[in-house]
Structure 1
Amino acid sequence: MAASTHWIATATAQSVLERGGNAFDAACAGAFVLHVVEPHLNGPGGDMTAVLASAADPGRPRVLAGQGPAPAAATMEHYRSEGLDLVPGSGALASAVPGAVDAWLLLLREHGTWTVRDVLAHAIGYARDGHPVLERVALTIAAVQGLFREHWPTSAAHWMPGGAPPSPGDLVTNPAYADLLESLVEAADGAGSRGAGVDAARRRWRELTGPAIEEFVRTPHRHSDGADHAGVITAADVAGFRATFEEPVTARFRDCTVAKTAAWGQGPALLQTLTILDGYDDEFLDPSTVAGVHTIAEAQKLALADRDVWYGDVAPSCADTGPAAGATGPAVPGSGSAAPDAAANAVPLGHLLSTEYAARRRALIDVTASHELRPGEVPGRTTPPVPPLRTEYATTAPAGSLPGAPTGGAAAGVGEPTVPHEPAAAEPSPDARGVTRGDTCHIDVVDRWGNMISATPSGGWLQSSPTIPALGFCLGTRLQMTWLDPASPSALVPGRRPRTTLTPTLVLRDGEPVLACGSPGGDQQDQWQLLFLLRVLVGGYTPQEAIDAPAWHTTSFPGSFWPRTWTPGGLVVEDRLGADVITALSARGHRITRAGDWTLGRLSAVTREPSTGVLGAAANSRGAQGYAAGR
């Protein structure tokens, strides 16, 4: 079974399964197709994370870390010298080292069975021969066309070859990226064996992309602060990166074990929330009732406050994490290894995930909505600074939505970085300001042998930074999730990974993987997954019923993306939650934003029942784009 955010990627993954490939072959093939067919949501210059379980060792889930670190020259001093107090939301200064492609190829080498040629064939075909462009891709290009014309001419040439944005359904190609992938195939074919072929493709990727990236970003270009800057990423940064497999962080909830990334991602915040909620009766865990929405939202606020104060790419404290909390993987040069002072700033996951700490946090939940950011204290530690709370910036669309989308201005599951653009209806002007949002993809696969993977590719959106013509893609903007504050665990530090929002989920029961799920949506990813998990694990919903049920999320915390704003007490809801429930939540002090009926969340999931081997899949119906398939 396969499920993803785009039907072509699902069909690709399913075709691999039908031809005897395993779940990891299928996920790789589908992911490279996502680079081509959802370029506004992810790209080869971006990042990815995955949680997986191998049939060979089902009780030991693993994290695949494809999040690149900050370049060697990405120092706070340099960014301050550029007149910045935040890392920009677009442009090459916001780019971490690309990590997605190396991570997918590592997965193929260690757990796949197919060759590089077979896995990349689908993506090469869609890039070379074309595919019908999505409506949302066309809308995104239209939203940033002024920026492209005036400041990013290589992007204009690539995405508007006729001088205008494409129309939905137009056939679009990417011959430069097809050439690049074919070069990887040629390197692999000449290596002699499947494993050596994957290694050769990984080397070729670094050799071809690093120099092209370094040469291109030396030319200053427009960033989201309205100024022109040169990037700092180099060929040496690209050459030094290696994706890694790492131990997950886990927590028990009811009779299940939930596996997430370590605190270089936001995954442990979901685990903290589940641990807080585990102390409530089921009547307080229904995401469709007043009591349930209020209780869940208030627990999320507490966990997200801890995320924004305590989380970062520093080693967990070995003394208090324990085996359930896991640890980061081995340090590899250029892979995001922690700075030498990491021990002094270790993420106290063992404390944050403990039942005792959860009980103290649970006691803070009142009958009225909190409008404060309330991180918890850790014994013997000085609490890091609370991020700056900016409330002056606003858009016309709800947080987590895309302006101009069909349903009341809200798109399905959008919530990643903002970038400035020139309004499409106006003459291009360097001073014109506007906003469009990027987002993310997701893919889940399970096979007949019991291999299971949940993966969230992201970054490298077509609107992230100018297209590099020789490569056919642009760089990501994940560094905007770092702070220019040395006291923060998520500070900008060369060689350290930004604290990503990418957060796939794997659920095990009695040591066997039974469910993999995930969603696009930036800060909302774990919030929407939490609703899904509560409905499945507590409410008895089927996965499809849980995905289709009314969604909502809080915005009462500092956003992870430029310009890093928040809405104290904010709660964005689908109208289908019901007028009576929404009115009662407002009476409790929640600042409600109505997002339309079918607008929030873009989850997909796969399942396996170990006792019977029966597989399942479910996908998001919002936007009529997600797709689940299987046999």
Structure 2
Amino acid sequence: MATHQTRPTLRGSFGMCASTHWLASATAQSVLERGGNAFDAATAGAFVLHVAEPHLNGPGGDLVAVLATAADPAPRVLAGQGHAPHGATIEHFRARGLNRVPGAGALAAAVPGAVDSWLWLLAELGTWELADVLDYAIGYAERGVPVVPQLAHTLSTVEELFRSHWPTSYAQWMPGGHVPAPYETLTNAVYARTLRRLINAGVGGTRTSRIAAARAAWRTGFVAAAVEDFASVPHRHSDGRDHAGVITAADFADFVPSLEPAVTAEFRGVTVAKAGLWSQGPVLLQALTILGHFGDEQIDPSTAEGVHTIVEALKLAMADREAYYGHLDPDEADSVLGRLLSPRYSRERAGLIGPAASTEFRPGDIGVPPYRPPLVTREPATPAVGVGEPTVQQTGETRGDTCHLDVVDRWGNLISATPSGGWLQSSPTVPELGFALGTRLQMTWLDPAAPSRLAPGRRPRTTLTPTLLLRDGLAVAALGTPGGDQQDQWQLIYLVRTLVFGSDPQQAIDAPAFHTTAVPSSFWPRTWTPNGLVIEERAGREVIDGLRARGHDVTVSGPWSQGRLSAVTRDPATGVLQAAANPRGAQGYAAGR
């Protein structure tokens, strides 16, 4: 399992951070150095990600995190995924002539959950003042950040859209009438002003009451009002037509962040903790329980046999995702999860993996009729504006992605967080606020029979899926990655490499990655590529040829094109901490001591 390693795995005992952008990692570490805990650090880093990676996430987006505290190691999920607005009904979308939720434009906006959830977490588990936490992001927004090459590329692809249809976005992101060049400085004074207004909303009282006042300004004050006014004006969507959004200020007020129990499964003596069926998190758990029925040599990701077995397990788990996952009521969710993660069911699913690549959509039988989504292999021949998610294309070319950050502190607090949505190309910039709304509703189906159907007040089934690991009941690692439908796929490879074959975190992140595309995409226009498999060319000719011989439709991508993982770890016995981050794109970094 030896592989080329680009960097060392960081080791220390004070605190560790890792993220998809060096400014967020440096910010989080700075907070730890100044006495903050992991939750203070993650919140500060997350707001910096809004400024440093605006093409990958924004304040108008969403958040899922898995965490454990030093006082209570039980894994819990911060559910920062907003719900569908009251006006977001299947009937409304059908009346607009739509058979899918658009991938760009405010009609696809769920209620923004990221900012309110971060503020809630800061109040509940953090220790810092809001002004100190937000000072980093305000500074970068006012003084500017270097435009990373991928941000410059993303802006170049939407220049005409912004110029012709989204003038507020053009004014914000193309100052001076041109696309910023790589490493040119880009500011966002309007967003800095928004953050200052949130801080100024809380004067006097206690730390928590000041944060509560900022949350009120977001949920029921100037932010919600500005979003309702702007989104209600028709603008161009990804179907090539103009629609008005349906989100209102009242929808903001209905969103409530919460900590929920994590869903868990055991693999090789480790407890893996994920968000529930309203995310795709159980995909990772299902795949691990399936792989638990195979020997080590059969799941070695450095061999053709291992890649084949892992990919086939993922196909089965992802088919169940489409058939059974959604924002279900608690009793129904518990029942579905109990069946999907039962030893008997995983053994049945493992028995379906043969020597040849499967070509069918194969959800399992858990005693209720499976939902079968429309399987579309070609994008619609309609005028398109924007894309569903700025993620890795089948060829390996990166449009962008989501964001991720992990933090562990010296006291034993851990958090793995995946903020996303609200990227600058998702919908027009709200000029009073300096950010755009997200488009998470594109992950819902306009079919009342679907478990992930569109319905007012329901969370869309998100792809955001961070991970926490526990050993003997104590949290030992936090990890995750951007990548849409690939997030749990790339994390599965990481877990196999580390838990089965003993790779250290950086080795596992650096190793050649792959994923299947034989699953209906969660993003507009919801296409799938039957039997598709994408793998980095560093996997080697023998592995690639072996996969093709097994019947996989293999696309060989660039040598460093798949995955943007990061991870932090903690050994409860020794206090030793570790951190590692993805080298692909020269943007993600770990920091710590």
- What is the alpha-carbon distance in structure 1 between the residues aligned to residue 302 and residue 583 of structure 2? 18
Counterpart in the other structure of 2:13: none
Counterpart in the other structure of 1:33: 48
- What is the alpha-carbon distance in structure 2 between the residues aligned to residue 215 and residue 245 of structure 1? 31
Counterpart in the other structure of 1:335: none
Per the alignment, in what secondary structure is the counterpart of residue 622 of structure 1? coil
Compared with structure 1, are the counterparts of its residues 302 and 252 closer, same or farther at alpha carbon in structure 2 (3 Å cutoff)? Answer: same
Counterpart in the other structure of 2:177: 163
CA contact (8 A) 1:272 1:303 kept: yes
Which amino acid in 1 is paired with 2:269? Answer: D
Which amino acid in 1 is paired with 2:285? Answer: L
Counterpart in the other structure of 1:383: 370
Counterpart in the other structure of 2:155: 141
Which amino acid in 2 is paired with 1:382? Answer: P
Counterpart in the other structure of 2:444: 482
Per the alignment, in what secondary structure is the counterpart of residue 210 of structure 2? helix
- What is the alpha-carbon distance in structure 2 between the residues aligned to residue 290 and residue 400 of structure 1? 29
Please provide the CA RMSD for this pair.
1.6
Counterpart in the other structure of 2:293: 279
2:81 paired with 1:67? yes
- What is the alpha-carbon distance in structure 2 between the residues aligned to residue 182 and residue 34 of structure 1? 17
Q: CA deviation at 1:129?
A: 1.5
CA contact (8 A) 1:351 1:357 kept: yes
Which amino acid in 1 is paired with 2:114? Answer: A
2:59 paired with 1:44? yes
Counterpart in the other structure of 1:353: 341
- What is the alpha-carbon distance in structure 2 between the residues aligned to residue 169 and residue 282 of structure 1? 45
- What is the alpha-carbon distance in structure 2 between the residues aligned to residue 134 and residue 244 of structure 1? 34
Compared with structure 1, are the counterparts of its residues 409 and 569 closer, same or farther at alpha carbon in structure 2 (3 Å cutoff)? Answer: closer
- What is the alpha-carbon distance in structure 1 between the residues aligned to residue 349 and residue 554 of structure 2? 24
Which amino acid in 2 is paired with 1:115? Answer: E
Which amino acid in 1 is paired with 2:47? Answer: F
Counterpart in the other structure of 1:573: 535
Per the alignment, in what secondary structure is the counterpart of residue 246 of structure 1? strand
Pick aligned residue for 1:550 from 506, 512, 535: 512
CA contact (8 A) 1:518 1:603 kept: yes
- What is the alpha-carbon distance in structure 1 between the residues aligned to residue 392 and residue 67 of structure 2? 31
2:23 paired with 1:8? yes
CA contact (8 A) 1:63 1:261 kept: yes
Q: CA deviation at 1:317?
A: 3.4
2:288 paired with 1:302? no
Per the alignment, in what secondary structure is the counterpart of residue 624 of structure 1? coil
Which amino acid in 1 is paired with 2:350? Answer: R
Counterpart in the other structure of 1:196: 209
Counterpart in the other structure of 2:590: 628
Counterpart in the other structure of 2:135: 121
Q: What is the percent sequence identity of the aligned residues?
A: 64
Per the alignment, in what secondary structure is the counterpart of residue 567 of structure 2? strand
Q: CA deviation at 1:154?
A: 0.6
Pick aligned residue for 1:215 from 197, 207, 229: 229
- What is the alpha-carbon distance in structure 2 between the residues aligned to residue 258 and residue 513 of structure 1? 10
Per the alignment, in what secondary structure is the counterpart of residue 308 of structure 1? helix
Per the alignment, in what secondary structure is the counterpart of residue 317 of structure 1? helix
CA contact (8 A) 1:570 1:591 kept: yes
Counterpart in the other structure of 1:339: none
- What is the alpha-carbon distance in structure 2 between the residues aligned to residue 246 and residue 17 of structure 1? 26
CA contact (8 A) 1:191 1:200 kept: no
2:205 paired with 1:205? no
Per the alignment, in what secondary structure is the counterpart of residue 454 of structure 1? strand
CA contact (8 A) 2:395 2:556 kept: no
Cα deviations by residue, 1:440-477 (Å, 9 ceiling, x for unpaired): 00000000000000000000010000000000000000
CA contact (8 A) 1:210 1:235 kept: yes
State how 1:400-439 maps to structure 2 within 5 Å. 410-411=396-397, 414=398, 437-439=399-401
Cα deviations by residue, 1:156-202 (Å, 9 ceiling, x for unpaired): 111112111111111111111111101111123x1411111111111
Pick aligned residue for 1:130 from 144, 148, 158: 144
Counterpart in the other structure of 2:351: 363
Per the alignment, in what secondary structure is the counterpart of residue 477 of structure 2? strand
Counterpart in the other structure of 1:534: 496
Cα deviations by residue, 1:533-584 (Å, 9 ceiling, x for unpaired): 1100001000000000000000001000001011110000000011111011
- What is the alpha-carbon distance in structure 2 between the residues aligned to residue 8 and residue 585 of structure 1? 39
2:416 paired with 1:471? no
Q: CA deviation at 1:351?
A: 0.3
Cα deviations by residue, 1:88-136 (Å, 9 ceiling, x for unpaired): 0000011000000011011101110001011000001011111111111
Pick aligned residue for 1:251 from 265, 289, 297: 265
Which amino acid in 1 is paired with 2:448? Answer: P
CA contact (8 A) 1:558 1:566 kept: yes
2:48 paired with 1:56? no
CA contact (8 A) 1:446 1:453 kept: yes
Which amino acid in 2 is paired with 1:448? Answer: R
- What is the alpha-carbon distance in structure 1 between the residues aligned to residue 107 and residue 416 of structure 2? 30
Counterpart in the other structure of 2:362: 374
Counterpart in the other structure of 1:500: 462
Per the alignment, in what secondary structure is the counterpart of residue 24 of structure 1? helix
Q: CA deviation at 1:382?
A: 2.2
Moved more, 167-176 or 596-605: 167-176
2:412 paired with 1:450? yes
- What is the alpha-carbon distance in structure 2 between the residues aligned to residue 304 and residue 238 of structure 1? 32
Which amino acid in 1 is paired with 2:41? Answer: A
Which amino acid in 2 is paired with 1:41? Answer: L
Per the alignment, in what secondary structure is the counterpart of residue 50 of structure 1? strand
Structure 2 unaligned spans of 5+: 1-15, 382-386
Which amino acid in 2 is paired with 1:595? Answer: S
2:116 paired with 1:102? yes
Q: CA deviation at 1:240?
A: 1.6
CA contact (8 A) 1:266 1:502 kept: yes
The two structures have a TM-score, normalised by structure 2, of: 0.94
- What is the alpha-carbon distance in structure 2 between the residues aligned to residue 618 and residue 61 of structure 1? 21
Cα deviations by residue, 1:243-287 (Å, 9 ceiling, x for unpaired): 111111000111110000010000001100000001111111211
2:245 paired with 1:231? yes
Which amino acid in 2 is paired with 1:194? Answer: R
Aligned residues: 571
- What is the alpha-carbon distance in structure 2 between the residues aligned to residue 540 and residue 165 of structure 1? 45
2:555 paired with 1:616? no
